[in-house]
Every structure is written in C-alpha cells, then in structure tokens.
Structure 1
Amino acid sequence: MPVFSISTDTIDQTCNSCAKKSKAFSYDVCLESLESVPVSRATNLQGLALIAMELALENATSTISTIIKFLDNETSTFDDDPFGLACMKDCLELYSNGVTTLLESVGDFLIGKYDEARKKMNSVMDATSMCEDGFMEKKLLIEEGNNMNSSPLTEENYNLFQLCDIALCIVNLLSLSLDV
C-alpha cells in the first residue's frame, strides 16, 4: 500500500479535488473537518480516510444521543404528532444501523477491501437521506400554511452525509492511485 505524505496544502488539495468531482461535496466542510483533527497534518492519505470515517462515526453516535433526547421528551416534542414520532424512531433505527455499518466500513478499509468500504459508506449516506425524506413526507402531508421545519435532524443528516462523502472520496483517490 503506497504511503502519501500529507500537509495542510495536501488536505486543501484533497478537499478541492473532491469538491470538483461532486456538486454535493462541500469543500468547506471537508477542510474544516480534517483540519480540526491535529493528527491530520501528520498522516498519510489512508490516515485522512480513517479520520473522516472516525468523524462520521462520532457524528452518528452523537446524533443517536440527540434522537434519544427527542424521544425521551416525546410528550412535549411530539405532542399530538404520531407521524413525527414515527419519523424520529425510523431515524434512530437508521442511525443505529449506520453506526454498525460505519464500523464495518472501517474494518473493510483497514484490510484493503476498499470496494466494500465504499458500498457501506454509501449506504450510510443513503440512510441520512431516508431520515430527512421521512420528515419531508410529513411536511408534504401537512397543509401549506404550516411553517414546520423539514426535520429536527437536518444539520445532523447533512453533516454525516458530508463526512461519509469525504471518506468516500479519499478512498476513491486511494483506489485510483493503486490502479496506476
């Protein structure tokens, strides 16, 4: 497995390269996320992928705690809102499965099964969209006069999606370098 030296410029170049490959990819989230971990400036590209996966795992775990707080407070949060409660429970299941899938993805990555790692990260990204879509469906069912937010988990869904996308892009870059 080739080793790549990383610097802040390389992090910037990696994020820039990834942002050019996808309209959904956020250069700013990539740079801010990777640079927030001090060891990222002294690791290789494989290390950056692991850092992104660990950040995604941390985000998913934190989001589970947030969802549980919502559900524990369901009498006030979801008063007379069984659909919202069902959406939140669905999101809890999606995020719980996502944590397991992210752990499996890290394991696959560490043993060089990049294709498997990518598939699993993609499934976690899909789960964030499914969580968000559940609340969007609710919004569509409610009359237009209601100013309800699309989801109480929009920020968490976005962040996990982006963190998985960062890891996915770096794994793709590594795969390309191995094919040369």
Structure 2
Amino acid sequence: MRFTLSLVLLLLFLFQCSSNDSNLIPQSCKEASNSSPTLNYDICVSTLEANISKKNPPTKFEDLVGISIEITKTNGTNIIANILKLLNNQTFSQYTKACLKDCSSLYEYSISTLNDAIVAFKSKDFDTANLKLSAALDTSVTCEDQFKLKNGEVSLLTKENNVYFQLNAISLAFVNKFNQ
C-alpha cells in the first residue's frame, strides 16, 4: 500500500513537472503579449516552439530570454544575407541600393547590440539589456523609414522588417519582466 501511494505521488509530481515545462512558452508569451501592445502572442509561441530543441527544451523563463535573443540575431543575419543578394540586382535604382546599404549597416550594428544585450542579461544588468534591445528594435523601423523618404519608393524589406520587429519585441518584453 505504501509503495503504491509513493508511486502515485511520484507520477503526479512528474506529470506536474512535465506539464509546467510544456506550458512555459505559451504562458511566457501570454504574459509578454499582455504587457506589450506590439507583441503578437501567436508569433511569439510559434517562433519559440519552432526554434526550440525538443531534446533539450528550456525549463525556466530565463532560458527563453537567451533563446529569443539568439533567434533574433539569426534572423538579422539572414536579413543581411538577403540584402546582399538584393544589392546584386542591377535593376534597382541608386536610391533603392542606398537604402539597402543603410539597412545592411543598421542590421549589422543591431546584431552587435543584441550580443551586448545577451552579455548584460547574463550579468543581470537588466536595464542595459533593455536599452540594447530597444535599440535593436528600432533597426527595423529605421530601415523601413529609409524607403519612405522618397515618394513612390517601396521597401523591399517590409516583411523582413516586420518579423525582426516582432522578434525584438518578444525579447524586450521578456527582459522587461525582470525590471518589474
């Protein structure tokens, strides 16, 4: 009888632990989206779930912060690669190419800023991490605005800028939980 009771309690504990782990992403994204009007809950959940190892899932919220920043850095690196491909297109105007070059510089700086944010977060310097993530968040907006300065010019990076903005918003909302 005693063995059975111990076994049942152990199984309940294990079920509760695995249940908490499986709720980490949705719960964290729900809290983050409630605190940030620019953050989309569905994008938060789908992005994190698609990029997290099933073999070694995060067990605590702090892990999600680092993961979200790394996802953002990877996305920024991919945007730079896309910009470099676009710059090889000879049909674009000089103005469009100048915008693309500016955006490439912005994204390169942003990735450096995200590296600084990771260092600050790991050092528990949440104010600096917040500042760095806020600066990285501005990258996509500034890039998009480059194209709008000339009438009739259409951004070639609107989709990428919007995704990058959302990824930064996730990281920023997560870090802001530590400033409360």
- Assess if the C-alpha contact under 8 Å between 1:98 and 1:124 holds in 2: yes
- Assess if the C-alpha contact under 8 Å between 1:121 and 1:168 holds in 2: yes
- The gaps in structure 1 that reach 5 residues or longer are 143-147
- Assess if the C-alpha contact under 8 Å between 2:113 and 2:133 holds in 1: yes
Q: Return the letter of the residue paired with 2:110.
A: G
- Assess if the C-alpha contact under 8 Å between 1:11 and 1:31 holds in 2: yes
d(CA) in 2 for partners of 1:29 and 1:115?
Answer: 25
> In the alignment, which residue of structure 2 is the partner of 1:145?
none
Max Rg structure: 2
CA shift, 1:121, in A, is: 0.7
d(CA) in 1 for partners of 2:169 and 2:37?
Answer: 11
d(CA) in 2 for partners of 1:13 and 1:167?
Answer: 15
CA shift, 1:170, in A, is: 1.1
- Assess if the C-alpha contact under 8 Å between 1:49 and 1:170 holds in 2: yes
User: TM-score, normalised to structure 1's length?
Assistant: 0.82
Q: Return the letter of the residue paired with 1:92.
A: S
> In the alignment, which residue of structure 1 is the partner of 2:30?
16
Moved over 3 A (4+): 39-42
CA shift, 1:85, in A, is: 1.2
Q: Does 1:135 align with 2:157?
A: no
CA shift, 1:86, in A, is: 1.1
CA shift, 1:110, in A, is: 1.1
Q: Does 1:175 align with 2:168?
A: no
d(CA) in 2 for partners of 1:98 and 1:166?
Answer: 15
Q: Does 1:124 align with 2:139?
A: no
- Assess if the C-alpha contact under 8 Å between 2:33 and 2:40 holds in 1: yes
- The gaps in structure 2 that reach 5 residues or longer are 1-17
d(CA) in 1 for partners of 2:36 and 2:66?
Answer: 20
d(CA) in 2 for partners of 1:45 and 1:16?
Answer: 13
Q: Secondary structure at the match of 1:99?
A: helix
Kindly provide the CA deviation profile for residues 41-95 of structure 1, in whole angstroms up to 9, marking residues without a partner as x.
433111000000000000001111000111122x12x1xx121111111101100
Q: Does 1:70 align with 2:86?
A: yes
CA shift, 1:20, in A, is: 1.6
CA RMSD of aligned residues (A): 1.8
CA shift, 1:127, in A, is: 1.2
Q: Secondary structure at the match of 2:47?
A: helix
Task: Give the 5 Å matches for 1:27-66.
Answer: 27-36=41-50, 37-38=52-53, 41-66=57-82
User: TM-score, normalised to structure 2's length?
Assistant: 0.82
Identity of aligned residues (%): 33
How many residues are treated as equivalent by the alignment?
160
